[in-house]
Amino acid sequence: MCHVLVIEDDFLIADHIIQLIESAGGTSFDQAATQDEAIRAARAMPPSIIMSDVNLLIGTGPAAVRAIIAEHGPTPVIFVTGSPDAYRLCNTSAIILQKPINERVLVDTFRDLAPT
């Protein structure tokens, strides 16, 4: 099972990412729009992989990812952001993809990183 946590404050973008990842093999999903929601979702069900935006309406994706990894251990991370310069390295395995989303690159990157 590959449980994916999608941290994205734009519902339409989050839904699009979930649809792409589901077609690429993701089996279950949690969606969080804020840093705190993401941390709570990970506590309820630790993710196999995290897909996160950098800037959120409340908090940041990197801060949520740092907290989740500190609590649950190493987890593959893909940042999907329109602000790649705002990203601060928080996990050596993190990959940064730029918005607008290149569907093929996102799916291929997910397949490369997702646990099997």
Q: What is the pTM of this model?
A: 0.93
Kindly report, residue by residue over 8-39, the tens digit of the pLDDT: 999 999 999 999 999 999 999 999 999 999 99
Q: Is the pLDDT of residue 84 over 90?
A: no
Length of the chain: 116
CA distances from 16 to 23, 43, 59 (A): 11, 24, 22
| C-alpha atoms less than 13 angstroms from C-alpha of 106 in its C-beta half-sphere | 25
Contacts of 46 (CB under 8 A, 6+ apart): 3, 68, 72, 75
Kindly list the structural domains of the chain, giving each domain's residue range(s) and its CATH number in brackets, ordered by start: 3-113 (3.40.50.2300)
